[in-house]
Amino acid sequence: MSHIVIVGGGFAGVWSAAAAARVRGDGAALRITVVTPDEDLVLRPRLHRLDPQASRVPLRRVLAPVGVEHLRAKVTEIDPERSRVVAGGRAVGYDRLVLASGSRLVRPGLPGAERLFDVDTAEGTARLAARLAGLGRFTAVVVGAGFTGLEVATELAGRGDVVLVERAGVVGPELGPEPRPAIESALAELGVKVRLGVGLSAVDDREAVLTDGGRVPADVVVWTAGVRASALTAQIPAARDELGRLEVDRRLRVSGNVFAAGDVAAAEADAGRRVLQCCQHAIPMGKVAGHNAAADLLGLPLTDFAPDPYVTCLDLGAAGAVTTTGWDRRIRLTGVEAKEVKDRILGLIHPPVDDAKLILEAAGTPGTGVR
């Protein structure tokens, strides 16, 4: 029996599996296995709200109803020449591979780095939430004023004194000029102090030391800067971009019988842009890669990846949110109205569970349903 192996149980992996199961239907002899050590799909866009339990969806409730196996193991080796991966010390052969092993925050090598907190994983968020729970009103330094740093800083602002540190000369350097005034006024409204043009050089249990020599009292220092694709991408002989992502074609094929989706894949989005490492792209990429892996094996037509137009929804804690459309991020909504959109998105990224019909239907709709 032919075998599709999907490495990773995040958005891309789960939706690859469901889409492959949809193509298989009832008749075809096709085995589909998701390999990941995790028991849960982690809804990473919820993690900044510091409720890690609400960010977990048991994988068995999405995979089992649609007849997808789950091998609970970490992949340590990919051998494309022999079409096999090594997981938990055991070789697993594949006819098609979908690499969907995602991304991880890169931790800096600075004195005290082991004291840094993060919201990159459910475990990281649980550790931060547990630390804050014991503190009452706290002081926090958040390093990096990109998307994640802004969301964490504004979330923490209601509960403590927050300093946001950014190496660039502006907040949200990658978000562009359009949403910046809305972000700046939210930070001011929430009392978040901003230190621009400086980085972090060391951390101890009472303070953060900045690159200009300044010292900021901090019960917690949260690191948010720099995300890279899973190191497994290096085991596939193909071109990679500066984030370590594999170059893929419109069908999300890397080459031969290997596909890639989500944060490990540098696919073309629209308007000549590459996808971003976001679930807005990871979900539809997963659906296309899984569909194509199964269609390729069954001799059916393959489909192109063509994502919905790019949108952003940045959470700004008690100051609401800001939603934008397009790559130049034209503001659509701010404040309470934008917050309602954010809350809706955080609900919509939760996949249907337990019901095969709903899961397979959702796997067949392009996009995230998040618009």
Ligand X SMILES: Cc1cc2nc3c(=O)[nH]c(=O)nc-3n(C[C@H](O)[C@H](O)[C@H](O)COP(=O)(O)OP(=O)(O)OC[C@H]3O[C@@H](n4cnc5c(N)ncnc54)[C@H](O)[C@@H]3O)c2cc1C
Nearer to ligand X, 33 or 280 (CB): 280
Site map for ligand X, 281-320, x if CB under 6 A? -x--------------------------------------
Q: Does 11 bind ligand X (CB under 6 A)?
A: yes
Least Cβ distance, residue 277 to ligand X (angstroms): 5
Instruction: Give me the phi and psi of 92, to 5 degrees please.
Output: -125, 120
Q: What angle do CA 166, 170, 174 make, to 5 degrees?
A: 85
Residue selected from 75, 163, 221, 236 as contacting ligand X according to rule CB under 6 A? 75
Where does this chain touch ligand X (CB under 6 A) — which range of 25-33, 45-53, 153-161, 209-217? 45-53
Residue selected from 9, 290, 351, 352 as contacting ligand X according to rule CB under 6 A? 9
Q: Does 263 bind ligand X (CB under 6 A)?
A: yes
Site map for ligand X, 94-113, x if CB under 6 A? ------xxxx----------
* DSSP per residue, 159-172: TEEEEEEESSSSSS
Nearer to ligand X, 2 or 121 (CB): 121
Site map for ligand X, 15-44, x if CB under 6 A? --------------------xxxx-----x
How, if at all, do strands 227-229 and 103-105 pair? antiparallel
Residue selected from 5, 18, 45, 317 as contacting ligand X according to rule CB under 6 A? 45
Burial label, 174 (beta-carbon count in 10 A; 0-12, 13-18, 19+): exposed
Q: Does 351 bind ligand X (CB under 6 A)?
A: no
Q: Does 48 bind ligand X (CB under 6 A)?
A: yes
DSSP assignment letter at 303: -
Q: Where are the alpha helices (DSSP H) in the chain?
A: 11-24, 60-63, 122-133, 147-157, 180-190, 279-298, 335-348, 356-364
Nearer to ligand X, 17 or 209 (CB): 17
Site for ligand X in 134-163 (CB under 6 A): 148
Residue selected from 230, 233, 292, 324 as contacting ligand X according to rule CB under 6 A? 230
Burial label, 126 (beta-carbon count in 10 A; 0-12, 13-18, 19+): middle
Q: Which of 184, 179, 181, 137 is nearest to 162 (CA)?
A: 137
Least Cβ distance, residue 121 to ligand X (angstroms): 8
| Distance (Å, whole) CA 306 – CA 367 | 9
Nearer to ligand X, 17 or 119 (CB): 119
* DSSP per residue, 354-367: S-HHHHHHHHHSSS
Residue selected from 3, 61, 72, 74 as contacting ligand X according to rule CB under 6 A? 74
CA pseudo-torsion sign 73, 74, 77, 82: positive
Q: Does 72 bind ligand X (CB under 6 A)?
A: no
Site for ligand X in 265-284 (CB under 6 A): 277-280, 282
Instruction: Give residue for tokens 């709903």.
Output: 358
| Distance (Å, whole) CA 33 – CA 22 | 14
The residues of the shown chain that bind ligand X, judged by CB under 6 A, are 7-13, 35-38, 44-45, 47-48, 74-75, 100-103, 119-120, 148, 230, 232, 262-263, 277-280, 282
